[in-house]
Amino acid sequence: MYKSFLLSLLLFCVFLSTPSAASGTHDYSFKVSRGDAFYKFFFSTGLSGKLLKKLMASDERAQKLNKIYPGDKFRIVLNANHELDQIIYSPANDNPLFITYDGQSFNYGKTSIQKIGELSQTIITIKKSLNYDAKKAGVGAEVIKMMVDHFSWEMDFSRDLRKGDKFMLSWNGEKTPIAMVYVGSRKTIALFSYKNTLGQKKYFTSKGATINDTFAFAPAKYNRISSSFSKRRFHPTLKIYRSHRGTDFATPSGTPIYAPAKGIVKYRATLSGYGNVVYLKHGSKYLTVYAHLSKFAKNLKSGKKVKKSELIGYVGTTGQSTGPHLHYEIRVNGVHQDAEKIKLPKQSFVPTSAMPEFQKRARRILQDLNIG
Ligand SMILES: [Zn+2]
């Protein structure tokens, strides 16, 4: 038991600690998992039990270190002599706590960590809306739009954004930031720029993938396309000519329908024309519609985040429909598009060879923003 604990501690350190080579200091980063205790992190850096006791007795704020939760983060920085220099405790739901040690006493509140220097930051704390608060913080309209376009893939600005949530931008002098980070009470989304060999700048998660998704062509298994997108066609039920602004996939009732890309359920309803219908929003531009469903997937409601290939419902023939089929629409910025012809953006990735450098830079940026 003890052995396996030591082993896991060792592995833990190998993967998570990031000693900085530059200054001879040791800079360890930890993320709290279930069952972790602060002393484990403290001891794993080689610091003594005597010092821990002194720390705990130094101030009542030190008691926060005994109440840590999964998702919280720590940085423990040692000087070149392997003596404690600073502890930064970043709770997932609270402001970071900085504790510095000068060899004699502990100091609370101020950071002594050097900034990367050439980077500057904009911190936007949400009071009204991203648009309002970012403008107030001096961020230009183009960058605000870019932030919305990116973060909308993972959050619904109309529902998920809360007062007190933060957006952090890190700049190195270019017109667009080198990193954009959302820090909410429930989650953090961090995106880092990377320029490809052509000098084109895109934003990637720390895993090296763009935040947008690649769309699957069809959201369900189908036998054939029974009706293509057209500007004008004869409607068999209504007996009138009208445009068909979607694609009909002929497939039996009960065939499962899967989200073609990750998104957020915008709307779930039963309408006279569409029957049972689901609207999915993907990022800020793309909306997909699924009509005539026999049934919705369990727990599918507005605001729910769905992954790519997640079940959203079953094919049927509800509403104005001549037989079981899936009526599928893609709208881009509100305009109906032909699903058979439209070229949708694909997810892209940082080349494997560039990943170590990319991730190192990402870690430095986060540390600089004090959310490492
Ligand atoms: Zn249709």
Q: Are residues 81 and 54 in the same domain?
A: yes
d(CA 147, CA 190): 11
Task: Tell how far the Cα of 276 is from the centroid of ligand 1, in angstroms.
Answer: 13
Assess if residue 266 is contained within a domain.
Answer: yes
Q: Are residues 11 and 79 in the same domain?
A: yes
DSSP per-residue letters across 258-294: E-SS-EEEEEEEEETTTEEEEEEEETTTEEEEEEEES
Residues 6+ apart with CB under 8 A from 46: 78, 82
Question: Which protein residues have a CB closer than 5 Å to ligand 1 (ion)?
Answer: 246, 248, 327
Task: Tell how far the Cα of 306 is from the centroid of ligand 1, in angstroms.
Answer: 23
Q: Are residues 158 and 96 in the same domain?
A: no
Establish how many alpha carbons lie within 13 A of residue 142's alpha carbon, considering only the half-sphere containing its beta carbon.
Answer: 3
Query: Given this model, what pLDDT does residue 95 score?
Result: 65
Task: Tell how far the Cα of 290 is from the centroid of ligand 1, in angstroms.
Answer: 9
Task: Tell how far the Cα of 52 is from the centroid of ligand 1, in angstroms.
Answer: 68
Tens digit of each residue's pLDDT (9 = 90 or more) over 224-254: 999 899 876 666 776 766 788 999 999 999 9
d(CA 69, CA 89): 11
Is the pLDDT score of 315 beyond 90? yes
Task: Tell how far the Cα of 291 is from the centroid of ligand 1, in angstroms.
Answer: 8
Q: What is the CATH number of the domain that holds 364?
A: 3.10.450.350
d(CA 253, CA 323): 9
For residue 120, what pLDDT band results from cuts at 50, 70 and 90?
confident
Q: What is the CATH number of the domain that holds 318?
A: 2.70.70.10
Q: Are residues 90 and 174 in the same domain?
A: no
Assess if residue 114 is contained within a domain.
Answer: no
What's the number of domains the chain is made of?
A: 3
Assess if residue 53 is contained within a domain.
Answer: yes
Residue 58's domain comprises 2-108
Q: Are residues 208 and 357 in the same domain?
A: yes
Tell me the CA distances in angstroms from 354 to 257, 348, 360, one per residue in order.
Answer: 37, 14, 10
Assess if residue 262 is contained within a domain.
Answer: yes
Tens digit of each residue's pLDDT (9 = 90 or more) over 164-214: 999 999 988 889 999 999 999 889 999 999 998 888 999 999 999 999 999
Q: Are residues 104 and 140 in the same domain?
A: no
Q: Are residues 126 and 85 in the same domain?
A: no
Q: Are residues 90 and 7 in the same domain?
A: yes
